[in-house]
Structure 1
Amino acid sequence: MIKTIIFDFGDVFINLDKAATAKELENCQISALSENVMAKNLQYEKGLISSDDFVAAYCSEYNQLSEEQMLKSWNAILVDFPKYRVDFIKKVSEKKDFQLILLSNTNEIHIDWVEKNVPFFADFRKCFDAFYLSHEINFRKPDAEIYEFVLKKHNLKPEECLFIDDTKENTDAAAALGIHTWNIEPTREDIIDLFTTKQELF
C-alpha cells in the first residue's frame, strides 16, 4: 500500500519548454554549450556555486552574452503553472491519506522566477510535508543518493512510496531502489489523473 507520494515539479505541476533555453541562446549565436558550462550547470543545480558565479561563468565563456540575456535564456524553459493542478494537490493534502513530498532538480534562479511570477506558489508549497529542491540539499536526480536521502530522512519503506517524474532516467533510478514509479508523459498525461492512472497502487 502506498503511504508516501513523491512528486517532481517541472512538467508535473509547472509546464516546461525544455528546448526554449537553447533556442534563446542560439539567438545570441551560441549553438552548443562547452563542457565547462555544462559542468557549471550540474554544479549549480546541486547548489555548489552561487547564482552570481553561475551567470558570470556563462558571460565569461560567451562574451556576446549579457547578464540580462543569460537570465532571459535560462528562464525561458518556464512556461506556466496551471492553477487546477494546485487545486488538485490541495485536495489530496487536505484528506491526509498520504505523506506528500516534492523532490525537484531546481536551481535558485528558476525558483526565484516561480516565486515572483506564480501568485499561488506559497499555497502550493504548503501542501507538502517536505519540499526538497536539489540546490538546497546538494543532491540531484537521477543520483541514487537523492532518493536514499529522502527515504532515510523520513524513515520510508521503498515499497510504500510512489515517485512521479517526467524523466525516465529519474524514475528508473528510483525503481532500482524498490520505489513504485510513474514516468508521466506531460503531452498526454496529467497529474490530476493520478488516482485513475495508477489506481492499482491505491
Structure 2
Amino acid sequence: MTGTIRPHTFKPRDLVGGHVVVDLVNTVTARDAEPVDWLDGYPRLLDWAVLTGHFAPADLTVLRGLAESEPVRAEQALARVRELREALHDLLTALIHQDGPAPAEAVEGLEAHWKQAASRARLTLHGTAPELRVDVGASGLDLLGHELALRAFDLLRALPLERTRVCPGTRCGWLFVDGSRGGRRRWCSMATCGNSAKGRTHYRRKRADGVDPDPR
C-alpha cells in the first residue's frame, strides 16, 4: 500500500468488519481514493488490539512494556503486521471480486506469515478441537501478528464469500462480512457510508426536481 500514515484514535465504530482479521485490514481507510494508514506506531496497534477485545489484557500490558524498552524491534514487528494486512487485503478482495486467480504474492505472503506464527505456536485442545496457540513468551512483540496470521488462516477456510463484501462508499473501500439475518447489508456502516450515500441521493433528486437543496 502506498498512502499516508496518520494518527487515529480508534473507536468502536471502526470495528465493522465482522471478524478481527477483517478489522485489521480496515486499519487503512479510503483505499478506493487516497489510502490512509491509521497504524502510525506500535502503541497504536496495541490501542486497536485493546478495543477489539480479542487479545488478553495481560499480554497487551506486557507488549506495551516491551515496546517501550525495545522501540526499534516494536517498529519492525509493526512492519510485519502491515505486510500481513496488505497480503490479506489483496487476497480477500480477489476472492470477493472473483475476477481471476488470487495474487500469488498475496498467497505467498500469507503463507510465510502463517508458517512463522505456526513455528512459535503450541498445539492445544479446545474441547475436542485442536488449535494452534501462541503466547507472548514465544512470540514477543510479534504476538499480535502471529495471532492474526493464525486467525486469518481459519477465516479463509470458512469464509462465506456470498456475504463478504467491499463497501462502495466514497473514500472507503472497507471490507466486511455480512452477519445480518437477511444478508443484504451493503455498507460498512449505515451511520457513515450509508447515511452519506442517502444524503447524496437526496441532494441529486432535489436538484433534478429543480429544488434548491440548500436554500439560504
Structure with the higher helix share, 1 or 2 = 2
> TM-score, normalised on structure 2?
0.27
- Which structure has more relative contact order (CA 8 Å, sep 6+)? It is 1
Q: Which has the larger radius of gyration?
A: 2
